[in-house]
Structure formats: structure tokens, C-alpha cells
């Protein structure tokens, strides 16, 4: 897997020699370059695949650079693509017009190699940072929200669970007392008889303990959810600590539970867990949760996409996510595998999925940062590895290896 950001740049210019020069500079620098000869065909190209940045000539036939920029900026799908104008016109008014239309920068022709590369790098880096911050902000506000809710629910649920223990004891005592009355007093008072019949005392005696036990189960479940929410919300942990990874997985599943439930399009997703006997892992808990969240959310998306596709070709499958954990044979790492029977991936997607911004999802759904961040957290931050195994239509399986002790790697 290569680590170089394999960014794509769209060059829009009508002069063949300019195109040739830019193509050479940019491909040599490792960018994937596509070319459009005027504004109109640039818009068509962008429609096909969103580039990471656009180099846009001002003076072009059919549709000039300003008009193209205006249209790109007006479309929510394309408005965030950084645009750099290329202008041979040195009048400042043109440069200002470009910037006013939303371009991030301009370069003047004739093109200087170093300058064009430097400016492109700056703007790609800015955009990357911006998106990364947005993702972190999203995770951190989710963490705060979750922590807040957990805190609010915690008190009332403690009232219930704390009092249920006493309620159970009192009811047991009262039933015992009733029994004693029944055995030791042999009077049949009509009023008592009628009332006993009315309240169906025999059924009540039988049902009351069961009712209490389901109340207890319910409150235990809420307590468990609160615990999961609290665990999940440790997003801001800056210290490496010993963590039970299963707790991380389970709490992430709780957060995602509304997405796992049945929808109008599909039944609930089966979560099949095969947890091995894991030691506590030395890691950044919040970050690992972020990885689990990204991988599990991707698996759910892939399943939803597969279901959408199936509707047209009619075959059946029951949506499932398999999660397994083991210690590796050298006893140095743990392996978490997350597999789904979703849409799967083509070789091309597999090759590019860890790139920043790479997404196959519609606008507003994916930013294409989930896996790039997951990889950074696992590989860079923890010295582990993140691998994938998938084929189209056959689902995908991600394998995360994390060293048990950080000093070991």
C-alpha cells in the first residue's frame, strides 16, 4: 500500500502546450491528472469523478474560467473543490475577480514548475487539514453528546435499580405474610373472597416475581448501555492505557445500534461475535473506538448498498457482520477481524480506499477519510497493521492487528 497521497488534479486549459507542460510537471510529482479543454467539458469531467483540486484557465472558448468557477461553486457537490486560476492577464482586477468567485489562489503564465507545485501542495494540505479537523470535531462532539446523555441517564436508572432490590425483598415478604395468613387463619370472609377473585390473586402471586425480574433485566440493560456510552465517549483520552478491546467493540455497537436495526429495506443486521481470550491492550482507547466506528459504519453502508442493488436483481442474503478477535501466534499482537456480506469492492477501490478523500459514496454521505484516519491511527499511532480482503459482491473483511504492548514495536 502506498503512503503517498495519490491526489487527482483536473487541468482545464484550451492551449495544448500549457496542458502538455502541466501534465508533465504534475504526473512527475505523482499526481493523477485529467484534462479538459474548456469549461463545459471540465464540468462534465467533474461530474464523472470529483478531483482533489482544479487548475483553471481563465480565457477559454465555449465557457470561460470565471463562468466555470461560478457554476462549480454554486453546486454543493463541487463547491469545496479548491480551484486555482491560471491567468496570463496581469491586470489585478482579473485576479481579484477569480478570488471573489471562490478560487483559493491563482498562478500566472508562463507556468513556473516550482511555484505551481508549491501552491498545489499548500492548498491540498489545507483541504486535508480542514477535513481532518471536521472529522475529529464530529467524533469529539459525538463523544461529548454521548457522555452527556450517559450522565443524565445514569442517575434516574440508579434510582430504579437501587430501589428494585428493596422492592423485590418487600414483595417477597408481603407474599410470605399473605401465605401465613392463608395457612393460619381459616376464616372465609366474603369481602376478602370477592376481592381475591377480582384481583386474581393466584395469578398475581405467580406473576409478580416474574414481573420484577423483567424490570430488573430492563434496568440492567439500561445500566449496560450507559456503561457503553461512557466507554465510547473516552474519545479525548490522550494517554495510552490498558484497555479491554471487547468493551470498545461492544460500546461502538451500542452507538451504532440504530443503524443495525431493521429498516424498511432490510431486516436487522446480524452481529456474529467470536471473541477470543484477549489480554488488556495498551492503546489509545478513544482512537481505537474511532477506528472501530469507521470500519463498522463502512460495513453497514456496504450492506445497505448491497441491499439496494439486490432489489433490482432479486437475490437474497441475510445481512451479517462478523467480528472476531484473537491473539496472534507470536503472542505479541491482537487481531480484530470485521467482515460483512455487503457490496464488496473492486480491485480498483481496494487499491485506493486508504487514500484521503477517496469515496464511492454520494455527496454528504462520505468524505473519504474514514479509512485514511483508521490507517493512520492503527499503523502510525499504534504500530499495527490494517489489511483488507474483498471482492465485488462478496463482501469485505478488514483485519486490524494491534501490538499488545506499545513498547514492543
Residues near Mg ion (CB under 5 A): 298, 370
In the complex with Mg ion, the residue whose CB is nearer, 298 or 325, is: 298
Q: What's the min distance (Å) between Cβ of 301 and ligand ATP?
A: 6
Closer residue to ligand ATP in complex, CB, 344/384: 344
Q: Please, what is the minimum distance in Å from the beta carbon of residue 11 to ligand ATP? A: 25
Work out how close the CB of 206 gets to ligand ATP at its nearest, in angstroms, rounded to a whole number: 49
- Other Cβ atoms less than 10 A from the Cβ of 351: the count is 14
Nearest distance, CB of residue 306 and ligand ATP, angstroms = 9
CB of 233 to ligand ATP, least distance (A): 20
Please tell me the distance from the alpha carbon of residue 404 to that of residue 260, in angstroms, as a whole number. 30
Residue 9 touches which member of ligand ATP, Mg ion, none, C-beta under 5-8 Å by kind: none
Q: Which residue is nearest to ligand ATP (CB)?
A: 370
Q: What's the start-to-end Cα distance of the chain, in Å?
A: 20
Cβ contacts of 380 within 8 Å, gap of 6 or more = none
Q: Which does 367 bind (CB under 5 to 8 A by kind): ligand ATP, Mg ion, none?
A: ligand ATP
Our CB check for ligand ATP shows the closer of 87 and 356 to be 356
CB 85 within 8 A of CB 93: no
C-alpha cell at 304: 445497505
Closer by beta carbon to Mg ion, 139 or else 404 = 139
Name which of 68 and 294 has its Cβ closer to Mg ion.
Answer: 294
The interface partner of residue 403, options being ligand ATP, Mg ion, none and the CB cut-off 5 to 8 Å by kind, is none
Binding site for ligand ATP (CB under 6 A): 294, 298-299, 302, 340, 342-345, 349, 353, 358-361, 366-372, 396
| DSSP code per residue over 240-309 | -EEE-HHHHHHHHHHHTHHHHS--SSS-PPEEEEEE--PPPEEE-HHHHHHHHHHHHHHHHHHHHHHHHH
- Give the nearer residue to ligand ATP in terms of CB position, either 19 or 401: 401
- CA dihedral (387, 392, 396, 398) in degrees, to 10, reads 10
Q: Per the structure block, which three cell numbers stand in for 76?
A: 454543493
Amino acid at each position: 500500500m502506498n503512503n503517498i497521497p495519490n491526489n487527482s488534479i483536473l487541468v482545464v486549459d484550451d492551449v495544448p502546450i500549457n496542458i502538455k507542460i502541466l501534465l508533465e510537471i504534475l504526473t512527475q510529482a505523482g499526481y493523477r491528472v485529467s484534462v479538459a479543454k474548456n469549461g463545459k467539458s471540465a464540468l462534465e469531467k467533474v461530474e464523472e469523478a470529483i478531483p482533489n483540486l482544479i487548475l483553471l484557465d481563465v480565457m477559454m472558448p465555449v465557457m470561460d474560467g470565471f463562468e466555470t468557477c461560478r457554476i462549480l461553486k454554486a453546486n454543493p457537490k463541487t463547491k469545496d473543490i479548491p480551484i486555482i486560476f491560471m491567468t496570463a492577464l496581469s491586470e489585478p482586477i482579473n485576479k481579484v475577480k477569480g478570488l471573489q468567485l471562490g478560487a483559493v489562489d491563482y498562478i500566472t503564465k508562463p507556468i513556473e514548475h516550482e511555484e505551481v507545485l508549491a501552491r498545489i501542495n499548500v492548498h491540498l494540505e489545507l483541504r486535508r487539514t480542514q477535513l481532518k479537523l471536521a472529522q475529529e470535531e464530529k467524533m469529539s462532539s459525538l463523544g461529548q453528546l454521548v457522555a452527556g446523555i450517559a450522565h443524565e441517564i445514569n442517575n434516574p436508572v440508579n434510582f430504579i435499580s437501587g430501589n428494585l432490590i428493596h422492592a423485590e425483598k418487600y414483595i417477597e415478604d408481603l407474599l410470605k405474610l399473605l401465605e401465613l395468613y392463608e395457612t393460619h387463619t381459616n376464616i372465609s370472609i366474603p369481602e376478602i373472597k370477592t376481592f381475591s377473585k377480582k384481583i386474581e390473586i393466584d395469578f398475581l402471586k405467580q406473576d409478580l416475581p416474574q414481573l420484577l425480574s423483567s424490570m430488573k433485566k430492563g434496568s440492567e440493560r439500561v445500566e449496560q448501555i450507559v456503561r457503553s456510552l461512557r466507554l465510547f465517549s473516552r474519545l479525548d483520552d490522550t494517554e495510552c492505557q490498558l484497555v479491554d478491546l471487547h468493551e470498545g467493540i461492544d460500546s461502538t455497537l451500542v452507538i451504532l445500534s440504530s443503524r443495525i436495526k431493521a429498516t424498511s429495506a432490510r431486516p436487522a443486521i446480524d452481529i456474529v461475535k467470536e471473541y477470543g481470550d484477549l489480554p488488556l491492550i495498551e492503546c489509545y482507547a478513544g482512537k481505537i473506538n474511532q477506528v472501530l466506528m469507521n470500519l463498522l459504519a463502512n460495513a453497514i453502508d456496504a450492506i445497505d448498498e448491497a441491499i439496494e442493488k439486490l432489489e433490482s436483481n432479486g437475490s437474497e442474503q441475510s445481512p451479517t457482520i462478523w467480528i472476531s478477535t484473537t491473539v496472534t501466534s507470536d503472542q505479541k499482537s491482537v487481531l480484530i477481524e470485521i467482515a460483512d456480506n455487503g457490496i464488496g469492492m473492486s480491485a480498483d477501490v481496494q487499491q485506493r480506499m486508504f487514500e484521503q478523500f477517496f469515496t464511492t459514496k454520494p455527496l454528504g454521505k462520505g468524505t473519504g477519510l474514514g479509512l485514511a484516519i483508521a490507517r493512520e491511527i492503527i499503523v502510525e499511532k499504534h504500530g499495527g497493521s490494517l489489511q483488507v480482503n474483498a471482492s465485488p459482491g462478496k463482501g469485505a473483511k478488514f483485519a486490524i492487528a494491534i501490538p499488545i504492548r506499545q513498547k514492543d514495536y
